[in-house]
Copies of this chain bind each other. A is one copy, B any other.
Amino acid sequence: MSAGARVFSWPLRVYWEDTDAGGIVFYANYLKFFERSRTEWLRSLGIEQQRLRESTGGIFVVAETSIRYHRSARLDDELIVTASLVEAGRASMIISQQALLKTEQPPGQPAPLLCEGSIRIGWVDAASLQPRRIPASILDSLKTDTATT
């Protein structure tokens, strides 16, 4: 499950809470931005995490992150944060993500890349935190998403 994955996009705005004394977005906060985009991507596929936890007893946990920072964003900037499935296995999946700066670009010109990375996510039992297989309903939703795009 990999080729031709849809790229999901989520807009967000930089607030004071996101910045640090360098005058820019604090780098750790891009992990939060990436997660907001992943969450909304899952929601767009009908996957609500709180409901899933109640019905299956499982939750997603982040197992690995790898991020490269290219440019800085500042207060009041608008960002576009993407999420795109790279690989979905039985116990974990890999999502590729980018944060782009929304600017008034001439048509055809790409938005500047702020940072990018890949996130590996596992599925665990919420009580024991032991790894479990990702529920079939989730994998089905992901497959359908990939297939139709």
Q: A39 an interface residue at 8 Å Cβ cutoff?
A: yes
Find out whether the CB atom of A61 lies under 8 angstroms from the CB atom of B27.
yes
Q: A129 an interface residue at 8 Å Cβ cutoff?
A: yes
A72-98, CB < 8 A from B:
72, 74-76
Find out whether the CB atom of B76 lies under 8 angstroms from the CB atom of A69.
no
Find out whether the CB atom of B61 lies under 8 angstroms from the CB atom of A69.
yes
Within the complex, which residue of B15, B19, B21, B31 is in contact with A75, where a contact is CB–CB below 8 Å?
B21
Find out whether the CB atom of B31 lies under 8 angstroms from the CB atom of A27.
yes
Q: How many copies does the complex hold?
A: 4
Provide 30 A-B residue pairs closer than 8 Å at the C-beta atoms, listed in order of the A residue. A13-B40, A15-B35, A15-B36, A16-B21, A16-B22, A16-B26, A16-B35, A17-B26, A17-B32, A17-B35, A17-B36, A20-B20, A21-B22, A21-B23, A21-B74, A21-B75, A22-B129, A23-B23, A24-B129, A27-B62, A27-B65, A28-B29, A28-B31, A48-B76, A49-B75, A63-B68, A64-B69, A65-B65, A65-B66, A66-B66
